[in-house]
Chain A
Amino acid sequence: MRRFNVLMTLGLLFVFMMLTACPTPPKVEPEATPIDTSTTIPEDVVTEEETDAPQEIIKESQFETVYFDFDKSSLRSDSKSGLDSNYDLLMQFPDVMVKIEGHCDERGTVEYNLSLGEKRATSCMDYLVGLGIDASRISTISYGKEKPVDAGHSEAAWGKNRRCEFKIVSQ
């Protein structure tokens, strides 16, 4: 009975919507924009972080995520520049130990992607070691396609999922 009531109110609300929605859109749209700007306010937080210039503690989010092409573990030029800035961070904080997490998009099988993710993490590690970071400061792990950041099935989503993330183990 209670469920029926809920359904009824839902239905009524829907009908009400249909009646009221038609004339309102011109009203609602201009009002929607100020809301958008108000929600994207967290700029303050970012500026706060930046003002903390003499930083003692490094944050995971300061490391750049490195992206890859489909079924590739080779580094693109943009991923190399990401790694270069991660190298700078590692040089700046010599006590920090990181773990590089390799990830893949949803295409291909579980087992192959586990190996591919590992290869991606290793190629990031090799690059950093090549630049002079002590190999003992870096470890790798692969999650294959098990932890996508974007659950979508488009090229855009896949591109975001083919990545290596830097996680801080200790500092």
Chain B
Amino acid sequence: MIEFRKLKPFWTLLTLLICTSSLFAQSDKVRNVYFDTLKIGYVEPTPIGVDEMKYVGNEYIDKNDSSLMRYVTGIVKRDIDFYADFDLVPIDSFFIKTYEILEMDLRGWKRLGADYVLKLEAEFPGRRNMRVYWKLFYTFNYRRIDKGRIEVHRDEWRHMAHRISNEIVRTLTGEKGIFLTKVAYVKKIGKAKEIAIADYDGANERLLTNNGSINLSPTFSPNGKEIFFTSFLEKDPKLFKVNIASGRLTKLTDFPGLAAAPSVSPNGKRLACVLSKDGNSEIYVLDMKGRVKRRLTHNRSIDTAPSWSPNGNYITFTSDRSGRPQVYMMDSDGRRQRRLTYEGKYNDSPSWSTRGDRVIFVSRSKRGRFDIASIDTSGIDYHIMTEVGMNENPHFSPDGKHLVFSSTRLGKPDIFTMDVTGRHQRRLTRTGSCTNPVWGPIN
């Protein structure tokens, strides 16, 4: 008996050691996980080369300055690599640059397959600021097609890098880049679930709520200044909003029963949500002060997860009126309710594509996996987009080219992004405790 007690710590140690060693083995495997996906269509991204940033100022610079230059270049490269329409040209080991002459340099990039080359030059005016000149060249005729200058306080180097990437997107596609957008999600901290917000690439994470309660289902207002969510702060789940800049919290609803799944209309004047005040989960439209304007569904089954179409004319939602949860859509006044999905026994969490032609949702496969799927708004062309792990809560980026979702493919839930073809799957959070993501608008 005594002997065993003495031995007990040894046993715990042994199990600990075994556990940790198996953990290491697992993380090794994790690095090699191939994110298998199905492509929707043929993509031919534009290959772009990004040159290392050069210093063009007159004064001497130190180590901090040169690492800042490397960081900015790194962020720009990551942005371009992520963007659906672009491909970052990797530098081949045989590409030894000895050319001082621009045309020779561009010729070298062209041989690596780059259609465009981004050149960056830095200065540090007054030591506090960082100024970057960016120049975009076309390797077909060796011409410069656009240039620009951005100057910020050197602490805002990350912001500047994203601004440069946005400029490249604007120049080459005419569209607005998403590199300065935010992603909000739910982060589990102990027993609490708090609303967190981060840059689109997962950097600069901060908590918007810190109340120790359960906070769920964040959604952005169209101007990107507020986040609406469900909170158990006052025991029963109610709708709240939080101002992103000030952190000010406002309670919106105080109905008996459940209030959940908020979704703000594109004009910012209406709030679709689920209330169970009449005995069962139904979809309602409220004004922005939380007063009921209209009840949209009337039946004894669950109706939930409303999401507005980009033009504000339709709402897609989940209902189990057929016996199983399926995706439906209706006019925004509740008329013409119709079922969208027939494939799969469990389809839920619908959300509209930015362009308005497709609805993405979570679909439960026969093997019990939850995948991200999409369907045309006419109810045809069902596609599965993920094929590993449990995947949840898909949301489009404001440019309609990327998706954010949560997945347990690496064991615990984290936030992932990918482009709509399924390429460039990237993990945003690394804590294994994040769910319920939503992508904020371009400001």
Contacts and interface: CB of A to CB of B under 8 A. Distances in A.
Real binding pair: yes
A119 interface: yes
A46 interface: no
16 contacts: A14-B13, A14-B14, A17-B13, A28-B4, A31-B3, A110-B436, A111-B217, A112-B302, A112-B318, A114-B237, A114-B274, A114-B281, A115-B304, A119-B280, A141-B237, A142-B237
How many chain A residues sit at the interface, stated as a range, is 20 to 34
Given A108-B348, A115-B303, A147-B214, 11 more contacts: A17-B14, A28-B7, A108-B370, A109-B362, A110-B217, A111-B349, A114-B260, A114-B261, A114-B304, A115-B258, A115-B302
Which 3 A-B residue pairings sit nearest by Cβ, starting from the closest?
A: A115-B281, A111-B261, A109-B349
A43 B261 CA distance: 45
A71 interface: yes
Contact of A31 (B1, B216, B276): B1
Contacts of A112: 302, 304-305, 318, 320, 325, 348-349
B150 interface: no
A114 B260 CA distance: 8
User: Counting chain B CB atoms within 10 Å of each CB, which of A17, A110, A147 scores highest?
Assistant: A110
A110 B229 CA distance: 12
Interface residues of B, number: 46
Interface string B354-398: 000000001010001010000000000000000000101100000
Contact of B346 (A21, A71, A142): A71
A161 interface: no
A13 interface: yes
Contacts of A149: none
Contacts of A146: 193, 214, 216, 232
Contacts of B3: 27, 31
Contacts of B17: 10, 14
B257 interface: yes
Contacts of B281: 114-115, 118-119
Contact of B280 (A16, A108, A122): A122
Interface of B: 1, 3-4, 7, 10, 13-14, 17, 193, 214, 216-217, 230, 232, 235-237, 257-258, 260-261, 274, 276, 279-281, 302-305, 318, 320, 324-325, 346, 348-349, 362, 364, 368, 370, 390, 392-393, 435-436
A35 B4 contact: yes
Q: State the majority secondary structure of interface residues on A.
A: helix
A23 interface: no
Contacts of B257: 118, 140
A102 to B, nearest CB: 10
A143 interface: yes
Contacts of B304: 111-112, 114-115
Interface string A5-43: 000001001101100110010011001101100000000
Contacts of B274: 111, 114-115
User: Counting chain B CB atoms within 10 Å of each CB, which of A20, A32, A114, A143 scores highest?
Assistant: A114
A111 B275 CA distance: 12
A109 B1 contact: no
A140 B257 CA distance: 7
A145 B68 CA distance: 44
User: Counting chain A CB atoms within 10 Å of each CB, which of B304, B320, B362 scores highest?
Assistant: B304
A144 B3 CA distance: 47
A146 to B, nearest CB: 5
